[in-house]
Structure 1
Amino acid sequence: MSQSSQDGPVVGFVGAGAMGGAVCRRLASGGFRVRVFDLSEAAVAACVAAGAEAAGDAADAVRGADVVFTSLPTPELVSGFWDENLPHLAAGAVAVDLSTIDPVTSRAIADRVTAHGAAFVACTLGRTPAHAEQGDVPAFVGGDAAAVERVRPLLERLASSTHDLGGVEGATTFKLVSNLIGMTNLAVLAEGYVLARRAGIAPDAFAAALRETGAGSFQSETRLPWIMADDLASRFSVDLAAKDVRLAVEAAARWSVPTPVAAAGLSSLVAASAAGHGRQDAAAVVEVCDPRRTARGPVAD
């Protein structure tokens, strides 16, 4: 599979939101021929500016493509998409789902795609859309080994590393576990930040000291600066974070794995959403700890 748009694969791409759009632009700017569809005209335009072609509709993105990427917000949307568009998928094509969904739904879709005569690869991603824009994300893949090898050039363009986790259940579950850990850590980090501020610790001093302890994490390096700057613009929204942690907790319940700490983290995210922060970045979970806080000084009682 060549990176040349002349002799390489035709790539259909459906779902150009924050993460999907970043991946789509990354592929289109790397010489791959990409046909993209999204309900947002602005999202499609951003991908076209990076070298993609606009598809007329979802079916147009799928029809005739050698590889079809989907990046959609919920399991229901991914399943519904393939309900409508599987007939348009060419026999022998590869469907690659980037969405964060539950393993049961992913397996059901994989089985339907396979029965149609195509192949299915679950490919979940780590880090943020900003990292994906640069190809600096890990990819967690699962599915038919031959299909994974067929899309290897695409994976090498969109990701900095690829981890083969076996079946589609492994790839989808790992992403849920990763977000379960990351978002629960974020909820605790927000509580710790507000507590430190109440004790009179300056934000910069808090962040610097935290790096020297076992409490340092990806969230403290990435989202703590946003919290300190009162920058809650959405990179990965509260509502999406809550959806992912809910799916993880539900999957754990099906397998009789207790997740009380994650359930508490989920409650913090749900509370942030209920307070009106659902579309803001997951860092807005800090608002639940202290809605009166400011990023520039302790709040007087």
Structure 2
Amino acid sequence: MQIGFIGAGLMGGPLARNLIRAGKSVLVFDLSQEAIARTLEVGTSGKAAASIKDLKDCDVVFTSLPLPQHIKGVCLDDGGLYSVLKEGALHIELSTIDPGTANELAAAAKAKGIDYLQCTLGKTPAHAEKAEEPMFIGGEQVLFDRNSELFKIIGIPEYVGGIDASCAVKLISNMVGMTNLAVLAEGIKVGDAAGMDRNLLLELLSDTGARSFQMDVRGPWLAADDYAPRFGLDLALKDVRLGLEMARAWDLNLKSMEAALEYYKQASQDGFGKEDCNAVAKVVGK
């Protein structure tokens, strides 16, 4: 099996490395030569692709890109992935995108005789590096079943149903997580006003109903005013925005998440977009 991988960044890079560590033949394409080099250094079965055209004979191609417009361009533009892939190839899309974009890609792939699965991801690059990334996979179950062993190399796969479900699980996860992070930042602000030590506050809260994944992971960073980028604020803003657009399209009014979106918008406008998403703390409580 020849595998292609487009996008070797924070999430794509670890997943591609897992395939190479397993001895799979992988052609890696990324605009960053540094990202390609980091990906290929873990084994000998990976090679660099000079262009998307080099992926024309791949049986399976993964894509992991930052924004919906990026993945649409890579797949649908003249000379893009769908114009070069052979009939019967499988495209596995890993990016965080909205259901509309995912269904557009699936329809375009089908028109070219290409199979499509949407596979959104549930945790962090560190989990991806250890093949512990939850994977929410949507599309035809026969395609999932046929490729289940491949998925197990790179993460923890779960078939969730249709393409909409795959996108929704990821966007719900990020909306809830980012809203929770904003609320946690608010709580720390209240603790500051009360004169509490931040680390003590987090220790006490961790044994109550306030405990969360964000508290466990980002709480210590918030306590230390550590905003070094792990998952960028602008990416968090994008995910919350996409999730709320999805919800509005289904006539849902999600007031707490809409309020969180305003925090992330403000933080981005104030110049914190390239910092970690916990930089939302810089604008809460004002």
TM-score normalised by the chain length of structure 1: 0.90
Of residues 30, 33, 36, the one that matches 1:41 is 33
Q: Distance in 1 between matches of 2:18 and 2:274?
A: 25
- Letter matched to residue 38 of structure 1: D
How far apart, in 1, do the equivalents of 2:110 and 2:226 lie? Answer: 44
| Equivalent-residue separation in structure 1 for 2:41 and 2:227 (angstroms) | 27
**Structure 2 residue corresponding to 1:27, chosen from 16, 19, 23:** 19
Match among 251, 274, 278 for residue 283 of structure 1: 278
SS at match of 1:289: coil
Q: Does 1:102 align with 2:98?
A: yes
How far apart in 2 are the matches of 1:244 and 1:59?
A: 30
Instruction: Tell me the amino acid that sits aligned with residue 47 of structure 1.
Output: T
For residue 248 of structure 1, give the secondary structure of its aligned residue in structure 2.
helix
Q: Secondary structure at the match of 2:11?
A: helix
Q: Which one of the candidate residues 262, 267, 273 is aligned to 1:272?
A: 267
Measure how far apart 1:40 and its partner are.
1.1
Deviates more, 1:22-31 or 1:96-105: 22-31
Q: Deviations over 1:77-119 (max 9, x none)?
A: 1111111220111111110000000001101111111221121
* 1:114 to 2:110 alignment: yes
Q: CA deviation at 1:137?
A: 1.4
**Aligned partners of 2:108 and 2:184: how far apart in 1?**
41
Q: Distance in 2 between matches of 1:284 and 1:106?
A: 30
Distance in 1 of aligned mates of 2:91 and 2:187: 42
Match for residue 203 of structure 2 among 202, 208, 221: 208
Root-mean-square deviation (CA, aligned residues, Å) is: 1.3
Residue in 2 aligned with 1:231?
226
The 1-side partners of 2:19 and 2:121 are apart by 15
2:8 and 2:28 in contact (8 A); partners too: yes
Match of 1:259 among 248, 254, 268: 254
Tell me the equivalent position of 1:218.
213
Q: Tell me which of 30, 48, 53 is aligned to 1:54.
A: 48
Offset, 1:229: 2.8
* Secondary structure at the counterpart of residue 214 of structure 1: coil
Q: Secondary structure at the match of 1:18?
A: coil
SS at match of 2:181: helix
Q: How far off is 1:151 after superposition?
A: 2.0
- CA drift at 1:74: 1.0
Q: Is the 8 A contact 2:148 2:157 kept in 1?
A: no
What displacement does 1:290 show?
6.7
Superposition deviation, residue 231 in structure 1: 2.4
| Runs of 5+ consecutive residues of structure 1 not aligned to the other structure | 1-8, 292-301
Alpha-carbon deviation of 1:216?
Answer: 0.5
Match of 1:295 in 2: none
Kindly provide the CA deviation profile for residues 54-84 of structure 1, in whole angstroms up to 9, marking residues without a partner as x: 1101222x31111100001111111111112
What number of residue pairs does the alignment pair up?
281
User: In structure 2, what is the equivalent of residue 248 of structure 1?
Assistant: 243
Matched, 1:15 2:10: no
Alignment of 1:58-97 (within 5 A): 58-60=52-54, 62-83=55-76, 84-97=80-93
Picking from 129, 148, 157, the partner of 2:125 is 129
Please give the alpha-carbon distance, in whole angstroms, between the structure 1 residues aligned to 2:48 and 2:136.
28
Question: Are the structure 2 counterparts of residues 290 and 256 from structure 1 closer, same or farther at C-alpha, using a change threshold of 3 Å?
Answer: closer
* TM-score normalised to structure 2 length: 0.95
Q: Which of 137, 153, 162 pairs up with 1:141?
A: 137
Question: Residues of 1 paired with 2:186 and 2:204: CA distance?
Answer: 16
Q: Percent identity?
A: 42
1:112-155 Cα distance to aligned partner (Å, 9 max, x none): 11221121000001111011111111100001112112221221
Return the letter of the residue paired with 1:247: L
**What SS does the corresponding residue of 2:58 show, helix, strand or coil?**
coil
CA distance in 1, matches of 2:251, 2:58: 40
- Asked whether the 8 Å contact 2:141–2:159 carries over to 1, the reply is no
The runs of at least 4 consecutive aligned structure 1 residues that moved more than 3 Å come to: none
Bigger CA drift: 223-232 or 42-51?
223-232
Unaligned runs of 5+ in 2: none
